[in-house]
Every structure is written in C-alpha cells, then in structure tokens.
A and B are shown apart, each in its own frame.
Chain A
Amino acid sequence: MSTGTERGRFANVSLQDIIGWVLLAVIGLLILDLLRQVIVGDLPLGRLWAFTWNGIVDSLYIGLAAIGLSMTYSILRFANFSHGDLITTGAFTGWTAAYLVGGIGIAELSSRLLLRADGGAQPGDVGMDVVSAPLAIVLGLIVAAVLTILVALAIDRLVYRKLRDASGIALLIASVGVALALRYIIALFYTTDTRGVVASSPQWEMPAFFPMETINLHEATLVISALSLIIGVHLLLQYTKLGKSMRAMSDNKDLALITGIPTERVIFATWVIGAGLAGVAGYLIVLDRGQVTINLGWFLLLLIFAAVILGGIGSIYGALAGSLVIGLTINLSLVWIPADLNEIAAFTLMILVLIFRPDGLFKGVKTA
C-alpha cells in the first residue's frame, strides 16, 4: 500500500516538473523567436511596442479589478462572481454622472440619465473626451467609485453579511445570484444595447525620444489614474493600521479575531477599497474602449480570475503580477496567433501554470 502511494507521489512531482520545464522552454523559445523576428525584420519595433503598450494598459485595468477580487477572496474567503458586475456598475453610474454634468444644455435629460438608451445625442456632440469636458470626466470617475462602493456595501448588508459563516462554495453560489440580479437590474434601466458613449480620444504628439509618435490621451488618463490608485493601495496596506489589520486577517482570520482586530470594520474597508477600484476600473475601461455594455464586467471576470489565480489568490502583489502576465499574454500572443484566439492563450496559460504550481506563482490563501 505504502509503496503505491509513494510511487503516486513521485509520479505527481515528475509530471508537474515536466510541465513546468516544458512551459519554461516554450516561453524561452517564444522570446528567442520574438528576438529573431525583430532582428530579421518580420516584426517592426513599432508594432512590438504597440503590443506591449496595449498589454500594459490591459493589465492595469485588469489589475485594478484584480486587487478587489483578491482582497474579497482572502478576507471574506470566497470567489466573488459578482465582482465583474461591480465593474459594470461603475461604468454605468460613472458615465451617467459624466453625461449629466457634461451634457447640460446639449442633450436631453432622458438621454443623459440613461446613457443614450434612446439613441439620441452622439458622444462627439456632447464632447465626451478628456480635453473638451475634463471636469465631467473626473466627476464621473469619483461618482463611479462612490456609487459602486455604496452598491457593494448594500449587497454586503443584504446578502453576504448573513452568510459570514457559510462555506466558500455557498457564498460563491450566492455571489452568482447577486451578479445576475445586479446586471439585469442595470439592464432594466439602461437596456441591453451596446453603445458608444465616449468621443474619440484626442491625440498628443510626443517628443522624438518616445517610442511612439502620438499618445492617446484616454489611455494616458487610464494609466495615470490606475497607477496612482495602485500606489495608494500599496501605501495604505503597508503603512496604516487598517492595512496591517487587513493583512493580518487575510493571513489568519482566527488569530486576527483573538488579537482583537475588529473584523466587521476590516470587511467594510475591504468592500470600500475593492468595490471602489472595481468601479474605477469599469469607468476607465469605457473611457479607453468608448463603448458600454451590461456584459462589460462579466466578460472580463474570467480574465481577472485568471490574473488573481496566476498570482496566487490572496496576494495583492501577486494579483498585480498576474494581471501583468495576463495583459501581456493577450497582446503579445498576437505576434503568433490571430486576434480571436488570444484569450484562449491566456486561459491555457492559467491552466498550465496551475498544474505546474497549484498555488499560483506566489503562495496563495486556501479558501474552500
């Protein structure tokens, strides 16, 4: 009997090792091939830079959302499937606020309140870009964060608080219910139509030493906002008492309780930070893509999960690293494969890494 299990364990380890080595070898080969293509001239440097830049932009908004998902995962101990719809909530509430302010005197109240659900008022006419309506855009960003936080806190009060002691899977199932209800309540007001709400982005000429000639101001806004928020969260977690309590609670909940950390207050803070970042992420994604749809967050959710899992659930820095890997994968993979297969590359990478390292690249917290 014992020999059987020993053999089994060795077989496990070797299979994992093999997959790990194969994965590393493939990544190494791809890098070599990338260098070859650049040297031979198959891949112009400008294109490579565009892929990398898009990868960074993608990884930043995925990262914003992933921080929140990772925090709820480690502190509330469940995979929150309604996180994607918090992103959607942020997108709709934020842009509604931006339209309400930016569209005064240009568009009718109904089109501004319902984000052009009636098809009126083109975004270009309203002047929805960062140069024409900077105040409206910034206000929208703040409203997106605040309202998403309020929605998340209300959901916590109504649903998750009553399930604090339930198993991770029970909470997961409840969160799926929350996701559906939230998304389609939004759809009830805003309809299910996909529509453009942002005017095309103004471009700025860049000085000669930059790798690109012009910069898309909406992308720049996204990058600057996301980076400052990420640095803010880092400072909060590392240097405040609240941050310390949060890290303690994600590390060992029982020990945190015994040491007298106010768990409900930590959970409150978790929702505030997580939902706020998710709302901002949703708002910024719309700023970058120009379009809004009720499936915005739901379609992103699996990529965000992939990022969180790659980094190891529960580690915020891991989640950021995972987001970078996912963001770069879905863009750099375009060097070799067509655009409609890039998410497959990301999910495959996630599954392979999980075989190689079942706890993610960084060690995660066990939940279920």
Chain B
Amino acid sequence: MSERDSRRSGSPEPVRTRLEALSQWQYDLVLIASVVLVTYTGFALIGLLGGVGINSIVGFLRTVTFYAAVYALVVLALNLHWGYTGLFNIGVAGFMAVGVYTMAFITASPDSTPAGLGLPIPIGIIGGMVAAGLVGLVAALPALRVRADYFAIVTLGLSEIIRLALLSGSLRTIEVGDRVYGTGGGSGIQYPPVDTIIPWLLDQPIISVIGDVLFEVGATVGIQRSVILGGLYTLVLLVFVGLFYLLLSRIGNSPYGRILKAIREDELAAKSLGKDTDRAKVTAFVVGCSLMGLAGMLWMGSRSFVSPDSFMPIIPFYIFVALIVGGAGSNTGSIIGGFAFAAFLWEGPRFVRSILNANLNLRSPPTIYDAFVELAAGDLTPLVGYLVGSLDELRFVLVGVVLILLMLWRPDGLLGHRKEIAAATDLSRRRPTTDRPTASDGGETDE
C-alpha cells in the first residue's frame, strides 16, 4: 500500500482519479495528445519569442508531425519484431527499400528511363507491401536459424546486399524489348509521388469544397497553399499511424500475440508448451517487414524519385533510438518515441538553429581551429557560430548520447516499465492489494 500511496502523491487527486477511470486506450490517447500538445505549444512559444513568422512555425510543426508520423510507422512495425517477438532486426532499411523500389517500378511511367509499369499508386503500394513481405519471408528462413546476436548482423548484411545491389551499375539498366527497365543505379527511379493523391482527392466533387475552405482560411492567416497540402498528406499519415496502432495492438492482445511475447521471454518454454515458435516468428517477421515496406513508401511519399542513398545502414539505428526512447514492447511508447525522436532529436535542433541564425549575427569560421584562435583572442562568437554551423554533426552526437544515457539509466524507455497483461482477463484487477504493484502497472505514469 505504501508504495501505491507514494506514487499517487505526485499529482492532484481529482485528475488522477479521473485518469484512472479511463480505459487503457483512452488513457494512452490522452497521454499521446498531451505530450504532443505540450511540445507544440513549447515550440510555438519559442518560435514566437524568437521572431519567427507564423507560416514558418506552422511549416515547422508540420515537418515535425510528418517525421513523427513516419517514424511512428516504422517504429510500430519494428516493435512487432523487437518489442513483441524479440527479433533484433537491424535491416529495416533494406525492407523499406524493397517496398519503395517495387512501388516505384509499378507506378513509374513506361516512357521514362528506367521504365515502370505505369499502374496507379494504390496498386503500387499493395505491390510494395507484398514484395517487402516476400523478401522478409526469404530473409526469415536463414536468419531465424541462427542465434540472436548473429541474427542482427545477418539482417544488417541483407539490407546492405539489397542497397548495394540497387546501387550497382550492372543492374542499372535491363533492356526488355524496346523498353529499358532497371534500378537506375545511384540516380534511382523517377515515379509519381504518393502525395499527389491529395490534390487528386481535392478535385473530387464534395471534398473540393473542404479544400477551398481550407485554402481560404490559410490565405487569411498567412499559411501557404503548399504547407496546407503537406499538412493534409501528414493527416493521411496520422490515419495510417492509427491503423498500424490498432492492427498491432490487436495482434499483441490475440492468442498469437501471447505466443510472440512468450518467444521473447523464453523461446524454449514456449516450444515446450507445444507452440510452433518457428512458424510464429516467421509470420511476425513477414508481417513486420511488409509494414516496414508500407512505412517506407509513405515516408518517401513527397519525393518524386527513390535512390539507394535513402536506405543507408544507419537508418535502422534511428528507428531503434526512437523505439527505445518510447520503450520496446509498448505500442503507445512506440508512437511517443517516434514523436520524441522527430521533435527533439531530429527537427528541434534545426528549428533552434534557424532562430539563432535569425537573431544572432553569427558567422561560421572555416575550421574549428580558427574558432579557437579567436576564442583565445577573447571572442566567443566564432566558436558558437562554428558549433551552430556544424549542427548536423552535433545532432548525431546528441542522438548517440541520448542512446547511451537511456541504456545506462532507463533501458526500458519512457513507457517500457508498463507490463501488458498476457491473460485474456485481467486477473490482477480482482486482487488489487496483493498484485497491484507488479501486474497492473498499466495505467500508471511515473513521469
């Protein structure tokens, strides 16, 4: 009891009781929404104080939302692999590449080089998901045969094989009949961007009215048309995040999901109970890969071409940072992790840089040596200017340091201490006094 009391004492009693009355998903929704709102208000305030125009602030918030959404998508898919099943897949980029390239091949115009099939975008998306899933299946057969630490390196090897093959000059052009197909090598494939679906939607009879209203409102407040179009595409992404969340929560709470969690905790025990763990692992791997393919296609959605440079082997580690920030094994945590990564580690520093550049008259010396020379002469601004100028590097340092600190202090992430109930009925609710502290951590937040 005392433990419970001490945990409760943090927040006002009425709010706490009302929150506890909510069911799990409502509580999660409130949690995500409040984190997002607090962050946005913070950024907007900083922006307004820093003298940034409303168009830039809205544009920035849209960018953050976009990256938060795409990261959340990939992180949710990875959560099925690592969080639920315990498969340490660091070849995420490879499966994304397969999805995006397949879609590019299906949707690209037959007249361009390299040529595509010229089919509509939805067919391309389905094709991409199927292809990513199939490659996942092919990959799973050897990968699942080896032990956990080799598995990681095999998946990374596979993703590099895929990237290098796409980059290679020998697959750049393949002539079939009078058309030239192929991967395009380093310059990639041109294809219609996925987000062209938004203007198409706005041309439809009823939706066009909504579009006109939005553009009018935007024009009066001072938000450009392109920002609104981008915002609508981001909205589509958010819908996909919701769908992913529902699907993965459904999987996680199903009997099949319990097998996955059992594999994560102790595969031998699960096997001893007669569960076909190999089959469960392969299925989870294929479903996850297919979702990664979809996430990749949506991620590259506003680009009109795809090239191997988008799938460098470092990408999976960003996804892992986001997953670990949120807490592996928790879908809500995955979304918050994706958001936190996009807002604070990825886009936040750039926002701060633009404010600094606008307000301070910083000049960046050519090398850090010059900065130190001027520092020795008593002038601090060149060093600050240099650091602001090399913000891209500093951002990676920040990501690395956050990852280290998380592993040192909070290896379970922000929400990783939550235990999802494995049984179909929550047995712990019946005996609140004895089991509560361990089993029903579900609704508590210590943050």
Binary interface encoding of chain A residues 153-181 relative to chain B, with 1 for a CB under 8 A from any of its CBs, else 0:
00000010011001011111110111111
- Give Cα distance in the complex from A114 to B160, angstroms: 32
Q: Verify B170–A168 contact, CB threshold 8 A.
A: no
Number of interface residues of B (CB under 8 A): 52
Which residue of chain A has the shortest Cβ distance to B366 in the bound complex?
A118
In the complex, whether A35 has a CB less than 8 A from a CB of chain B is: no
Residue A338 contacts which of B146, B169, B373 (CB distance < 8 angstroms)? B169
In the complex, whether A348 has a CB less than 8 A from a CB of chain B is: yes
Q: Verify A184–B396 contact, CB threshold 8 A.
A: yes
Q: Verify A351–B157 contact, CB threshold 8 A.
A: yes
Return chain A residues, CB-CB under 8 Å to B152.
79, 172
Q: Verify A173–B399 contact, CB threshold 8 A.
A: no
- Give Cα distance in the complex from A36 to B146, angstroms: 37
- Using known A-B contacts A174-B408, A177-B404, A177-B407, determine if residue A168 contacts B367 with beta carbons closer than 8 Å: no
Return chain B residues, CB-CB under 8 Å to A185.
397
Residue A110 contacts which of B158, B313, B367, B399 (CB distance < 8 angstroms)? B367
In the complex, whether B402 has a CB less than 8 A from a CB of chain A is: yes
Q: How far is the CB of A342 from chain B (nearest CB, A)?
A: 9
Which residue of chain A has the shortest Cβ distance to B401 in the bound complex?
A181
Q: Verify A188–B394 contact, CB threshold 8 A.
A: yes
Binary interface encoding of chain A residues 307-334 relative to chain B, with 1 for a CB under 8 A from any of its CBs, else 0:
0010001000000000000000000000
Binary interface encoding of chain B residues 73-89 relative to chain A, with 1 for a CB under 8 A from any of its CBs, else 0:
00000000000000010
Which residue of chain A has the shortest Cβ distance to B402 in the bound complex?
A177
- Using known A-B contacts A368-B147, A368-B148, determine if residue A184 contacts B367 with beta carbons closer than 8 Å: no
Q: Verify B367–A118 contact, CB threshold 8 A.
A: yes
Q: Verify B149–A168 contact, CB threshold 8 A.
A: yes
Q: Verify B403–A306 contact, CB threshold 8 A.
A: no
- Give Cα distance in the complex from A189 to B394, angstroms: 11
In the complex, whether A205 has a CB less than 8 A from a CB of chain B is: no
In the complex, whether A343 has a CB less than 8 A from a CB of chain B is: yes
In the complex, whether A117 has a CB less than 8 A from a CB of chain B is: yes
Which residue of B150, B366, B399, B408 has the most chain A CB atoms within 10 A of its CB atom? B150
Which of B's residues lie within 8 Å of A, judged by CB? 88, 142, 145-150, 152-154, 156-158, 160-161, 164-165, 167-170, 274, 278, 313-314, 317, 320-321, 324, 366-370, 373, 387, 390, 393-394, 396-397, 399-404, 406-408, 411
Return chain A residues, CB-CB under 8 Å to B390.
187-188, 191
- Pairs across A and B, CB under 8 Å, 8 listed: A113-B369, A168-B148, A176-B320, A177-B407, A180-B399, A187-B390, A187-B393, A302-B160
- Using known A-B contacts A183-B396, A302-B157, A368-B149, determine if residue A177 contacts B401 with beta carbons closer than 8 Å: yes
Number of interface residues of A (CB under 8 A): 59
Return chain A residues, CB-CB under 8 Å to B313.
302
Return chain B residues, CB-CB under 8 Å to A182.
400
In the complex, whether A362 has a CB less than 8 A from a CB of chain B is: no
Q: Verify A347–B157 contact, CB threshold 8 A.
A: yes
Which residue of chain A has the shortest Cβ distance to B155 in the bound complex?
A351
- Give Cα distance in the complex from A123 to B141, angstroms: 50
Q: Verify A180–B397 contact, CB threshold 8 A.
A: yes
Return chain B residues, CB-CB under 8 Å to A43.
none
- Give Cα distance in the complex from A222 to B101, angstroms: 41
Return chain B residues, CB-CB under 8 Å to A305.
153, 156
Return chain A residues, CB-CB under 8 Å to B148.
168-169, 368
Q: Verify B403–A110 contact, CB threshold 8 A.
A: no
- Give Cα distance in the complex from A184 to B313, angstroms: 16
Return chain B residues, CB-CB under 8 Å to A118.
366-367, 369
Q: Verify A110–B404 contact, CB threshold 8 A.
A: no
In the complex, whether A131 has a CB less than 8 A from a CB of chain B is: no
Return chain B residues, CB-CB under 8 Å to A192.
393
Q: Verify B170–A302 contact, CB threshold 8 A.
A: no
Q: Verify A110–B370 contact, CB threshold 8 A.
A: yes
Q: Verify A338–B157 contact, CB threshold 8 A.
A: no
Return chain A residues, CB-CB under 8 Å to B165.
341, 344
In the complex, whether A358 has a CB less than 8 A from a CB of chain B is: yes
- Using known A-B contacts A309-B150, A338-B169, A366-B147, determine if residue A188 contacts B404 with beta carbons closer than 8 Å: no
- Give Cα distance in the complex from A306 to B148, angstroms: 15
Return chain A residues, CB-CB under 8 Å to B314.
180, 298
- Give Cα distance in the complex from A180 to B397, angstroms: 6
Return chain B residues, CB-CB under 8 Å to A179.
400
Residue B146 contacts which of A189, A337, A358 (CB distance < 8 angstroms)? A358
CB-CB contacts below 8 Å: A77-123 with B:
79, 109-110, 113-114, 117-118
Residue A173 contacts which of B320, B368, B369, B397 (CB distance < 8 angstroms)? B320
Return chain B residues, CB-CB under 8 Å to A174.
403-404, 407-408
- Give Cα distance in the complex from A188 to B146, angstroms: 39
In the complex, whether A273 has a CB less than 8 A from a CB of chain B is: no
Q: Verify A358–B170 contact, CB threshold 8 A.
A: no
Return chain A residues, CB-CB under 8 Å to B373.
110
Residue A163 contacts which of B150, B320, B407 (CB distance < 8 angstroms)? B407
Q: Verify A181–B404 contact, CB threshold 8 A.
A: yes
- Give Cα distance in the complex from A182 to B404, angstroms: 12
Q: How far is the CB of A242 from chain B (nearest CB, A)?
A: 26
Q: How far is the CB of A163 from chain B (nearest CB, A)?
A: 7
Residue A184 contacts which of B150, B369, B394, B407 (CB distance < 8 angstroms)? B394
Q: Verify A351–B142 contact, CB threshold 8 A.
A: yes
Which residue of chain B has the shortest Cβ distance to A349 in the bound complex?
B157
Return chain A residues, CB-CB under 8 Å to B146.
354-355, 358
- Give Cα distance in the complex from A341 to B161, angstroms: 9
Q: Verify A344–B164 contact, CB threshold 8 A.
A: yes
